[in-house]
Structure formats: C-alpha cells, structure tokens
Amino acid sequence: MVSTVIGAVPAAIPEPFLRAQSVPGKFFLMFFAIFFFALVFGLVLFLASLFKGKNGERVQGALFVGPAVVLLAIGLMYPAILTINQSLRGRSGEGGLTLSNYSAMFTQPELLLVLRNTALWVILVPILATSIGLIYAILIDRARGEAFAKALIFLPMAISMVGAGIIWKFVYQYKQTSRPQIGLLNAVLKLLGFETQQFLINAPLNTFMLIIVMVWIQAGFAMTVLSAAIKAIPDEIIEAAKLDGVQAFKMFRYITLPSIRAALVVVVTTIGIGTLKVFDIVRTMTGGQFDTSVVANEFYSQSFRFNAPGLGAALAVLLFILVIPIVTYNIIQMRKEA
C-alpha cells in the first residue's frame, strides 16, 4: 500500500519539492518531507483504527507492520536478488550466465591482494580492538575518574571514519628525514634516529597503518561492552572464590574470562562484521591505491569508477557470503547462552 503511495509521488513531485539550492529551500524540503511522512502514517493509523474485532486486529497488524515490511522488501530483498543476478553476468553485469566474476576474484593478482588485505583486516582488527578494550576496561575498573577515562577511549566512536582517516593521515604525514617533521609518528622515528617512512605508500606496511585506525575506532566499543559484562559478574562468585583463596590472575583466568565469554563473542563478531564492510577509512586515506584495497572499497571502485558493475556486484555478494557464517555463529552462541 505504501509502495503505491511512494510510487505515485515522484511523477507528481514538482521541482521545488525535489531539490533546493537556498538554505530556506532546503529546510522547507526537510519539513515538507517530515510532514509528508507524518501524513502517510496518520492515514495508515486512521485506517487501522477503523477496524474492530478479531478480524480487525489482523488488518491492524498488517497495517502496523506493512510500511516497514514493504520498504524492506522493495529496498533490501529485491535489490539483493538483483545484485546476485548481476554478479552472475560478467564484468558488465549484462551478459549471459557465467561465474567469470567469481573466478576473477580468486585468480587475478590484484583481486587476490584485495582478498588478502580483507583477511588481514578481519583477523587483526577484532583481536586487537577487543584485547585493548578488555585490558583497558580491567585497568580502569573502579579507578578514580572511570567515566572520564572511558569517554577518552570511546570518543572515536562518535567521529566519522572520514574524520578519523584525516586525523591519522596527519599522524602519518611524511617529510624527508632531513626536513622538519609535521607528522607525529615520523617525528618520533626521527627523534629515535630512524629514517622517516611513507606510512601510507609503502606496502605492505600501509595496510597495517590503516588497520590501526580501525582498531583506534573500535576499541571503545569493545571496552564499553566488556566493562558492563565485567560489572555484571555476581558478587557472590567473586566472594566465594576469594574465600577459597583464589588469587587475582587466576581469578581473571578462571572467573572473569569465562563469565564474560558471551560478551567477548558478541564484541569480536560485531567488530568483525563492521570491519568487513569498512570502506571510508581506505577511501579517505589511500583511495585503495598502493595495494591497500579491501573488498568493500573494491566494490565501490569497480562499480562506480572502473565501469565493472558485474564484478562490483560479485564483490558485494562475497561480503554477504562472508557475513553469513559470522552472524550464524553469533546466533548459535546466543541460543546456547539463553
């Protein structure tokens, strides 16, 4: 039902409701949109309120979930099917059925490199971010100024990956060793008597330098979730262990770690999924050049820059395939815990 409403609109959307150049025009557009969506919902709810009784309840249910389900069907399911189809039809995405895009991924050296980089990202980022987050959570637990200490590590989560990319690009900034350094990391190298490095250009070093940026962003997430899990361990268990004379490191190994296992799994997998889809960091910092591309970035390049939408679609499908086992594992773990 909603689909017909939305479908009917655009032909009728006059230019002022579609685009605006002036500031008032843009805000007018925004308020118009909000008003328009409110109107549609008002209509749906009004219709829902007309139906009474047992059968009416079914209709009401359909009206309540309808808009969301229709949007998901048209905006996510249907496009996903189209993309899978396109991935099977050659580089241009328009030929006959073929697996050439998929075989290209596993044979062409440039694309193999992309796969290798992605594997590095997906293995290193969750492990490093989670370890650092866990260590930090433990170190500051019950310390003075805990909330402030947490905010410092957590803040990068609020920063866009574009912003994070620029922050770190500046840390990595290269100048010849003899010249005054403006990038912090090279300044430290120079101070220690080493040659300065082109961190973002020298492969394979550059991939690791990009991975550090993602670790920097994600550690706060890991720290927050793990810190909450640590605080949720029942006091009795800790007291009992103490009475038995269990010492601190054994306590960590045999009580803390097992107690937060579920949270650890969630954190590692969530960061893993986020890392698979990371695109902004690579694009902002190297543009995927100098052997740093990853699947999500290569998807964008192939689809929109190299005019190979079929190959791009295959890369998107690969992302999808890689996410499935991680999510499935997550759900199985959750079931076990429940």
State in angstroms the smallest separation of the CB of 263 from another protein.
6
Question: Counting Cβ atoms within 10 Å, is residue 301 exposed (0-12), middle (13-18) or buried (19+)?
Answer: buried
Give the residue with the Cβ less far from another protein, 79 or 95: 79
122 binds another protein (CB under 8 A): no
* Residues 130-149 as x/- pattern, contact with another protein by CB under 8 A: -xx--xxxxxxxxx-----x
Give the residue with the Cβ less far from another protein, 228 or 332: 228
263 binds another protein (CB under 8 A): yes
301 binds another protein (CB under 8 A): no
Binder of another protein out of 1, 33, 240, 332 (CB under 8 A): 33
21 binds another protein (CB under 8 A): yes
37 binds another protein (CB under 8 A): yes
Q: Residue 83 to residues 78, 92, 105: CA-CA distances in angstroms? A: 9, 12, 16
State in angstroms the smallest separation of the CB of 332 from another protein.
14
| Only segment of 97-105, 111-119, 156-164 that touches another protein (CB under 8 A) | 156-164
228 binds another protein (CB under 8 A): yes
**What secondary structure letter does DSSP report for 91?**
T
Give the residue with the Cβ less far from another protein, 109 or 280: 280
DSSP conformation letters of 25-74 = HHHHHHHHHHHHHHHHHHHHHHHHHH--HHHHHHHHHHHHHHHHHHHHII
Residue in 307, 123, 141, 140 with CA at minimum distance from that of residue 238: 141
1 binds another protein (CB under 8 A): no
219 binds another protein (CB under 8 A): yes
How far apart (Å, rounded) are the C-alpha atoms in residues 270 and 104? 29
Token pair of 8, please? Answer: 């009917």
Residues 58-77 that bind another protein (CB under 8 A): 58, 60-62, 64-65, 67-69, 71-72, 74-77
- Is-contact 290 174, C-beta < 8 A? no
For tokens 């500031």, name the residue: 23
How far apart (Å, rounded) are the C-alpha atoms in residues 49 and 187? 68
Binder of another protein out of 99, 163, 261, 307 (CB under 8 A): 163
How many helices (H) and strands (E) are present in the chain, helices listed first? 17, 0
Residues 310-329 that bind another protein (CB under 8 A): 312-313, 315-317, 319-320, 323-324, 327
10 binds another protein (CB under 8 A): yes
**What secondary structure letter does DSSP report for 194?**
P
107 binds another protein (CB under 8 A): no
294 binds another protein (CB under 8 A): no
| 3-state class (DSSP) for residue 191 | helix
Binder of another protein out of 109, 176, 248, 335 (CB under 8 A): 248
Binder of another protein out of 1, 39, 49, 94 (CB under 8 A): 49
How far apart (Å, rounded) are the C-alpha atoms in residues 336 and 215? 29
